[in-house]
Structure 1
């Protein structure tokens, strides 16, 4: 099956009008939503501190310090979760040991160096991936990868599973449609091992490979999923081995907070937070429209990954889970490079004669 190169240009007039209107309304709405979500975020932090909880990154620092003293990962993690008034059940409330083990091997500065290398790799990968899209999109995409990936320079990057995994996934996305897809798969597996929440990335890639008839790629993705399944089973066993009957249990994930939480997470994990809300609000929405317009394997993969994960966050995430959106950084922002194409294709579809019969997207 051939994936369309410019899907928005193939929309019927009514669908193009509806999408353009929905995008405009979303850009306006996001300004109010960001302010409301920021207020909720401040209230949530205050309530958590009153309950005796502390910030997540302090938790990971303490776990790493215990490992440096020779303690085992799961024993250290369980002890610190109890001290921080955080649950150990279900097992996904305890991070995989990859970040802590890495810190034991090369230290926090080693992770900071890896983050900077991944930032540079993203710039190069997106410059290469967009070479057939025209010079403007190519240069714009690489520049956007650099800007949205500036979070790689923060000192606390060494304790952020999501942003480190996001830098890996973003490079993997750029490499996925070309000849370097095996390298992309390795990066994706590493990202999921670091933060299992990134698993839908491989599911989206597998769906696109299935639609495109890429049997070899699909087989490799299935093999990677099996390998990751074994790893997660071992992690679950490690957590179960140190859990105590008195340990806290997570209240679950059924926040139903809508897409505002996902957009807030994108806002606070990028340089968008430094912009006035009237400008940051549309810049947080428009990349998704751009990816919808990109087309081809890369566009289909990016759209499925970003739209699908935003929908999942809208349905399941709690207020304190906004940081999940670090998994998007910096690739989500690259979608802004395709916004001019999106607008041109939508306007063209709207102006098309009613008697014309566009090819279904």
Structure 2
């Protein structure tokens, strides 16, 4: 029997509304463990603080400067792979394995466009993400104020994505494209989502994790045609990467340095820290920002919608990627999922109220025997 609890913010009850008391108490325990695990971000290593001194930009934003120099070299008529190899050597970056070279997609596009047009396209993409998520979220909330809060939280996850100085950063574009693809995906309309997801992969290879998760979920739900669509995108990406690896091999020398590897094993706390650094939570003290990341994940688990489960699975996949393979200097991988993660806080009030109510439920079934 469903509990007669009116949703607080949502149009429909949360996922926890029908839990039995033992299960709900277990849910509260898991939530407490999640929040406690989030606090491990306080002890997790992070990148050195940014000085905000324009004279120190080469140190504060070394990767951005690297990508800008590559775009400038290609715009000047240079071959992408030769220009990139020289830029990596000049900056003392590793050149092996081939994944240390970004795919040429973004650099080639930016080299053909004036910088003002590139920045305008970045703003248009960010606006498209906001509109797409407004369309997806407006049916989830019962009143305009909670919807507005959800959109503010979405904007809070996108603060790093509207900075013109980061327009050459591959994760900025790929993260927005992943957010757009996820919002566009519907059971009856998935072609657009697949197309956008493939573009994200061609800009930043780590977007393949998103596409792979979407393919697996489609297959698990019995949506074979959609799963084949995501699989076809991965196949195209695989061919592109093979050509990319061959091109890199032509410019790399045997004496060029190799990457130290990606077995960072920095744990869940590092994932949480990357989320705080990649969103508006960077403005809050870590002891407050870290549990808010955990609460945002709980909020996504609360929303009783297939989109929420997809989003939560994607967050879990990138949390594993960052926790197992991320290094201190690759914290920006968190940008791949930063745009949407904070929106989960808008679902948390209903989920928390329903979970607590279920855990405290003391209803009893009374059986009355009638004698005739």
CA drift at 1:258: 0.5
**Take 2:115 and 2:216, find their aligned partners in 1: how far apart are those partners?**
36
SS state at 1:330 partner = helix
* In 2, Cα distance between equivalents of 1:209 and 1:235: 29
Work out which of the residue numbers 95, 100, 106 in structure 1 matches 2:107.
100
Confirm or deny that 1:78 pairs with 2:107: no
**Matched ranges for 1:156-305 at <5 A:** 156-177=165-186, 179-305=188-314
**Structure 1 residues 245 and 214 mapped into 2: Cα distance closer, same or farther (>3 Å)?**
same
**2: CA distance, partners of 1:348 / 1:210:** 35
Tell me which structure has the larger Cα radius of gyration.
2
- Is the alpha carbon distance of 1:268 and 1:85 closer, same or farther for their aligned partners in structure 2, counting shifts above 3 Å? same
1:66 aligns with 2:73: yes
| 1:42 aligned counterpart, secondary structure | coil
CA separation of 1:105 and 1:44: change in aligned 2, threshold 3 A: closer
**Structure 1 residues 318-357: aligned runs within 5 Å:** 318-352=327-361
- Do the aligned partners of 2:38 and 2:268 also contact (CA within 8 Å) in 1? no
Equivalent residues, number:
345
Deviation at 1:84?
1.0
Alpha-carbon offset, residue 132 of structure 1: 2.8
Match 1:140 to one of 135, 145, 149: 149
- Structure 1's consecutive aligned runs of 4 or more residues displaced over 6 angstroms after TM superposition are none
Provide Cα deviations, 1:79-103, integer angstroms capped at 9, x if missing partner: 1111111111111111111121111
**Is the Cα–Cα contact under 8 Å of residues 129 and 178 in structure 1 kept in the other structure?**
no
Structure 1 unpaired stretches of 5+: 357-361
Q: Which moved more, 1:342-351 or 1:260-269?
A: 342-351
Which deviations, in whole Å up to 9, do the C-alpha atoms of 1:42-96 show, x marking residues without a partner? 2999xxx9xx998211111111111121110001111111111111111111111
Q: Displacement, 1:257?
A: 0.6
Instruction: Specify which structure has the higher proportion of helix.
Output: 1
Please report how far the alpha carbon of residue 180 of structure 1 lies from its aligned counterpart in structure 2 after TM superposition: 4.5
Q: Is 1:123–1:143's contact at 8 Å kept on the other side of the alignment?
A: no
- Give 2:126's aligned residue: 119
Contact 2:64 2:166 in 1 (8 A): no
Q: Is 2:273–2:290's contact at 8 Å kept on the other side of the alignment?
A: no
Shift of 1:341: 2.4
TM-score under structure 2 length normalisation: 0.84
**Inter-partner Cα distance in structure 1 for 2:99 and 2:18:** 42
- Matched residues in 2 for 1:134 and 1:109: separation? 37
Note if 1:33 corresponds to 2:33: no
Native 8 Å contact 1:6 1:294 kept in 2: yes
